[in-house]
Amino acid sequence: MVSFNLSTVCEFKFDRANALFYSGEKITGRIILRTTTPKAITGIYILFVGLAKVAFDETRSSHTTDEMRNERFVSTAVETYTRFEQNLAERGELAAGTHNYSFSIPLPPHCPTSCLGRYGKVSYNLSLVVDRALMKKVFKQPLAVLQHYDLNLHPEMLKPIELTSTRTFWPSSGDVQLSLHIPFGGYVPGQSIDYTLDVDNKSEVNLKAFMMTLIQTYTFKVNTTRRHNTSYKRGERQNEGVTRQTARKIGASYEIPTVPPSTQGPHIIEIGYQLRLTVIFSGLHMKWNITVPITIGTIPLRDSGPPKPSREFIPDAKKISRSHVDRPALYTSETVLLHRPEKISRHSIELVDDKFMPSYTVKALPKAPVKSNACDATPEADSNQDVTVAPSQSPKEPKN
């Protein structure tokens, strides 16, 4: 229920228990507007918008005769997936009382899953707009959209993932050859990957254990510029060893955690996945990491066995709606901020009637980079991470 003052209250009611909808279906329900006093209006309409927003800063150097300065430019992009508008009332008087407005909004099949990343988000919002002469009241309700990814529609997912790699120990300790076999190229959350390892240890070093981890990578795009944010999902360790000068075949399984599906088609925000096998040796030898790409869907392959109880990813629509991605991401408390609107580099793929404009740009003499880790990342995660701060605040490290 949304209220701007004591005299006007708006309530959104969907024809299903939760506000989770799937690409390609219709969003149906009604909006209840209650007002205790009559109001002069110029119109009332329903607005539904689904879009992606990306914002990050870029640094460029400039030289003068006596100094060198770094200028930071804010680059932004907006990609619109759907925009629906339904007129409900024309100019006149809105009588006091309760008003019911039904809606049926088609959701295009290409709409990607709602998500929130470090440099952007995909969000969907349903609004009731009450236009008045001097102001506009907007009652907004965020909702979550999930795009189905049926792995059966992609024959390439039936092809197994196979990789052979060799690790050599110098100067004369021999080598280890490892072959990884994964039955299919795509899985869904809750499924177990039954994989095998063929290990031929011709070295003088013992293989002590290994671990499988799912790596999630968000890619954010503004024209040809890219930003990546990597996080490491649950790792499962197997204390299976292979002693020196021996060979062994090892079977193990890894359960896919609850994560959003891989992105279908090119978008300004894309989610991709890799599986990383980490081999752990005895002694002081460094770990050996092997990665292979994998696709995460929502409907499992029929040939991959009977599906387990669903562990479907459900986006947090309210959290996504509250998050702002229109400011540069990282500054030290001593960064020099100058309000220079003409320096904003605005790269928009498709603009909508949405106030997505950086509130400031900067001309800065940056301090040494501040190191921070994503909440769900291991220390090996991408260290080029940053935090969002308001112009009047000092930055804070993200909580682990």
DSSP secondary structure of 185-227: SEE-TT-EEEEEEEEEE-SSS-EEEEEEEEEEEEEEEETTEEE
Among 304, 325, 340, which residue terminates a domain? 304
**SS3 label, residue 316:** coil
Together in a domain, 66 and 33: yes
CA nearest to 126, candidates 82, 69, 75, 72: 82
pLDDT computed for residue 387 by the predictor: 31
| CA atoms of 251 and 278, how far apart (whole Å) | 15
DSSP assignment of 123-190: EEEEEEEEE-SS-EEEEEEEEEEE---BGGG-GGGGSPEEEEEEEEETTTTEEEEEEEEES-SEE-TT
| CA atoms of 184 and 154, how far apart (whole Å) | 12
pLDDT computed for residue 326 by the predictor: 60
Question: In this structure, is residue 397 part of a structural domain?
Answer: no
Contact between 78 and 351 under an 8 Å Cβ cutoff? The reply is yes
Question: 303-329 burial by CB neighbour count: b if 16+ within 10 A, else e?
Answer: ebeeeeeeeebebebeebbeeebbbbb
pLDDT computed for residue 265 by the predictor: 85
Together in a domain, 240 and 274: yes
Q: Where are the alpha helices (DSSP H) in the chain?
A: 317-322
Could you list the pLDDT tens digit for every one of the 400 residues in the chain? 555 555 789 999 999 888 889 999 999 999 999 999 999 999 999 999 999 999 988 777 777 777 777 777 888 999 999 999 999 999 999 999 999 999 999 999 999 999 999 999 999 999 999 998 888 899 999 999 999 999 999 999 999 999 999 999 987 789 999 999 999 999 999 999 999 999 999 999 999 999 999 999 999 999 888 999 999 998 899 999 999 999 999 999 999 999 999 999 899 999 999 999 999 999 889 999 999 999 999 999 998 876 666 567 888 888 888 887 765 443 333 333 333 333 333 333 333 334 333 332 233 333 344 443 333 333 333 333 333 333 333 333 434 4
Task: Name residue 133's amino acid.
Answer: A
| CA atoms of 384 and 374, how far apart (whole Å) | 10
Terminal C-alpha separation, the chain = 33
- Pairing of β 136-146 and β 20-22: parallel
Together in a domain, 192 and 97: no
Together in a domain, 279 and 323: no
Give the tokens for residue 362.
């900067």
Give the tokens for residue 42.
């110029």
Question: In this structure, is residue 386 part of a structural domain?
Answer: no
Among 304, 329, 348, which residue terminates a domain? 304
| Cβ-proximal residues to 179 (8 Å cutoff; 6+ apart), any chain | 162, 163, 164, 197, 198, 199
Question: In this structure, is residue 170 part of a structural domain?
Answer: yes
Domain that holds residue 274: 151-304
pLDDT computed for residue 208 by the predictor: 94
- CATH code of the domain covering residue 24: 2.60.40.640
Together in a domain, 75 and 192: no
| Cβ-proximal residues to 16 (8 Å cutoff; 6+ apart), any chain | none
Together in a domain, 222 and 186: yes
| CA atoms of 213 and 380, how far apart (whole Å) | 12
pLDDT computed for residue 327 by the predictor: 55
Together in a domain, 171 and 257: yes
pLDDT computed for residue 5 by the predictor: 56
Strand partners, 230: 217
Together in a domain, 19 and 124: yes
Together in a domain, 217 and 351: no
Among 280, 304, 328, which residue terminates a domain? 304
| CA atoms of 18 and 214, how far apart (whole Å) | 29
| CA atoms of 188 and 66, how far apart (whole Å) | 59
